[in-house]
Amino acid sequence: MLKIKKIKKQKKAYRSLLLLADPYEPMVDRYLSDGEMYVLFQDEEPVCEAVVTAAEGTLCELKNLATVPEKQGQGFASYLVRWLLEQYRSSYTGMLVGTSDSNISFYETLGFSYSHTIPNFFPDHYPDPLWDNGALCVDMLYLKYDFSL
């Protein structure tokens, strides 16, 4: 059975999941305290987490999304993102997500479309090179889900 819980206290108890999506803990700390965290449980076991923050204007931003490695590819992240889109639809005009090149198709299948790029984001904000699915992360690519569509 699947259940999504909003985590209000002890968010760092899910540190191992958070660091799967963003391996630089000081960066996670920058948005975790202000973000709303949700954990998807399967039979009482945490399998996926997400953190959403307010962004500029009337937008929110999906800042962190991760699934435990042995459960990846089974639809848990898609399930959680779809649920989040429904939760935030009435409060915001859209949801942003910043990601590397290798995750674009995942978000596009959920209805996100390209918004903008922040060149050299990863080398500028992370002390060590960051790799995602075998590719070096350089630019941060932003996608947006428009709630009016």
DSSP codes, the chain? -EEEEEE-S-GGGGHHHHHHH---HHHHHHHHTTSEEEEEEETTEEEEEEEEEE-STTEEEEEEEEE-GGGTTSSHHHHHHHHHHHHHTTT-SEEEEEE-GGGHHHHHHTT-EEEEEETTHHHHH-SS--EETTEE--SEEEEEEETT-
pLDDT greater than 90 at residue 149 = no
Percent of the chain with pLDDT over 90: 91
Condensed to tens digits (0 to 9), the pLDDT of residues 44-90 reads 999 999 999 999 889 999 999 999 999 999 999 999 999 999 999 99
- Global confidence as pTM: 0.94
